[in-house]
Amino acid sequence: MNHLVALKDLNKEEIIELLELAEKFIDHEGKILKDPIFPDKKIVNIFCEPSTRTKTSFEIAAKNLGCEVINFDYNFSSIIKGETLLDTIISFEEMGIDLCVLRHTDSVIHNLIEDTKKMIFISGGEGAISHPTQGLLDLMTIKSKKGIENNNILVAGHLDHSRVFKSFLEGITNFKNNITVCGHKDLCKEYLDSSLVSFEPDLEKAVRDKDVIMGLRIQKERINEDITINIDEYSKNYQINSELLKLANPDCILMHPGPVNKGIELSQNAYDSENSVINDQVKNGVAVRMAILTKYFST
Ligand code: CP
C-alpha cells in the first residue's frame, strides 16, 4: 500500500480497515476530530482538472492531522512555461514534500510513480478511469447509514466515463449487495450487459425496493459528438425527484458524489429530502481522506 491509484488495488480487509479508521475521525455528534500526529509531513495538492470537494477535503484532512499543505496553482506554475509534470514533482520531492494528491485528465500517475523516488501518490481522480477516495467515502456513507451488505442499490445517470462509478463498483463488489443501474442507453453502454450489475432502462421501475439510490452527474464535458442528448428529454426520463423517491423503500438513502446538476439528474426537492445524505458524503470525504493519509504515511 505505497500509493492509492485504484480501489481494485485494495482487498476487502484493507477497505474495511480504512473505513473503520475514518469512522474514528467523526465523534458521536458528527463532528470531525483533529489529531495532529504528522507535524513533519507535507502534502501537495496538484489538481490539473477542476475540483471543489476532493481538493478542499484533502487540505482540511491534512491540516487536521497536523501536516503542511501546498496547493499547487497549475495555471500559474512553470508547467505553463513548458516544464513537465514529472520535473515539477521531482522539484517537490527535493523541497521535502512527502505526498502528492493528483487529479489529471490522463493516466499519468503510473508513470510518475515509476519515475520518482520517494513521493507517495494518492489519486484525486484519473480521467474517466478512477476516483478511489470518492469510492471509499461512498462506501463509508452506505456503511454508516445502511450497513455495507444486503442492500438493493441503484446507480442512475451518466455511467459511461464515470470514474466515480468505476471506483464505486471496484469497492462495493467486495460486499454482498444487489446493484441495478439505470440511464440513457447511449450513456450506459459499458453496463448494458455487465455481469456485475443489472440494467433497467425505466427509472420508475428501477427505484422500487431500493435501499440506496445514487444519482450521477451528466458529464457534458466527456460526451463526444456522436451522442446527441436533449437535456429536457433527459430530465423528464432520468431525473430523480421526491415523487420517485416515494417508490423506493421508505428509509432509502439518496446519494450523489457532486457537483449536482440540479434540475437535470436530481431535482431540488430530492436534494432537500429527508432521504438525502449528500451532505454526509461531503463530511465523510474529510474523514476518509484523514484515514488515507494516516494509513499511507504509516506504511
Ligand atoms: N465528487 C468530486 O470529485 O467532487 P469535486 O470534483 O468537487 O472534487
Q: Give one DSSP letter per residue of 157-194, joined into a string.
A: E--TT-HHHHHHHHHHTTS--EEEEES-GGG-GGGTT-
Q: Closest ligand 1 atom, CA of 258?
A: 1
Give me the architecture of the 7-131+282-298 domain, per CATH: 3-Layer(aba) Sandwich (3.40)
Per residue of the chain (299 residues), give pLDDT as tens: 599 999 999 999 999 999 999 999 999 999 999 999 999 999 999 999 999 999 999 999 999 999 999 999 999 999 999 999 999 999 999 999 999 999 999 999 999 999 999 999 999 999 999 999 999 999 999 999 999 999 999 999 999 999 999 999 999 999 999 999 999 999 999 999 999 999 999 999 999 999 999 999 998 777 776 778 889 999 999 999 999 999 999 999 999 999 999 999 999 999 999 999 999 999 999 999 999 999 999 98
Could you read off the pLDDT of 284-293 as tens digits, one per residue?
999 999 999 9
Q: For ligand 1, is residue 134 a contact (CB within 6 Å)?
A: yes
Could you tell which of 49, 54, 122, 162 is best to mutate to test the pocket of ligand 1, judged by most ligand atoms within 8 Å of the CB?
A: 54
Cell numbers linked to 43 = 502534502
**CATH code for the structural domain at 132-277:** 3.40.50.1370
> Ligand 1 atom 3: the closest Cα is on which residue?
54
Could you tell which of 45, 46, 47, 52 is best to mutate to test the pocket of ligand 1, judged by most ligand atoms within 8 Å of the CB?
A: 52
Residue 293, pLDDT score: 98
Residue 1, pLDDT score: 54
Q: For ligand 1, is residue 51 a contact (CB within 6 Å)?
A: yes
Q: How far is the CA of 258 from the centre of ligand 1 (A)?
A: 6
Task: Please check whether residue 166 is in contact with residue 134, taking contact to mean a CB–CB distance below 8 angstroms.
Answer: no
Q: How far is the CA of 257 from the centre of ligand 1 (A)?
A: 7
SS3 69: strand
Task: Please check whether residue 100 is in contact with residue 120, taking contact to mean a CB–CB distance below 8 angstroms.
Answer: yes
Beta-bridged to residue 121, according to DSSP, are 100
Residue 145, pLDDT score: 98
Q: For ligand 1, is residue 219 a contact (CB within 6 Å)?
A: no
Task: Report the length, in residues, of the chain.
Answer: 299
What are 202-205's contacts with CB under 8 Å, separation 24+? 203/156, 203/237, 203/238, 203/240, 203/244, 204/244, 204/247
Could you tell which of 134, 161, 216 is best to mutate to test the pocket of ligand 1, judged by most ligand atoms within 8 Å of the CB?
A: 134
Residue 98, pLDDT score: 98
Torsion of CA 60, 269, 143, 299, to 10 degrees: -20
Q: Closest ligand 1 atom, CA of 125?
A: 3
Best CA proximity match to 85, nearest among 71, 98, 104, 66: 104
Q: How far is the CA of 132 from the centre of ligand 1 (A)?
A: 12
Task: Please check whether residue 181 is in contact with residue 191, taking contact to mean a CB–CB distance below 8 angstroms.
Answer: yes
* pTM for this entry: 0.96
Q: Closest ligand 1 atom, CA of 57?
A: 8
Residue 225, pLDDT score: 66
Q: For cell 492509492, what's the residue?
A: 4
Cell numbers linked to 42 = 507535507
SS3 267: coil
Q: For ligand 1, is residue 258 a contact (CB within 6 Å)?
A: yes
Strand 178-182 to strand 198-199: parallel, antiparallel, or no bridges (unpaired)?
parallel
> Ligand 1 atom 6: the closest Cα is on which residue?
51
Q: For ligand 1, is residue 53 a contact (CB within 6 Å)?
A: yes
Calpha distance 132→125 (Å, rounded): 7
Calpha distance 124→167 (Å, rounded): 12
- Domain ranges across the chain: 7-131+282-298, 132-277
Q: How far is the CA of 54 from the centre of ligand 1 (A)?
A: 5
> Ligand 1 atom 4: the closest Cα is on which residue?
53
Calpha distance 203→184 (Å, rounded): 10
Q: How far is the CA of 124 from the centre of ligand 1 (A)?
A: 9
Do the two domains 7-131+282-298 and 132-277 of this chain adopt the same fold? Answer: yes
SS3 293: helix
Q: For ligand 1, is residue 54 a contact (CB within 6 Å)?
A: yes
Exposure of 92 by Cβ count < 10 A (0-12 exposed, 13-18 middle, 19+ buried)? buried
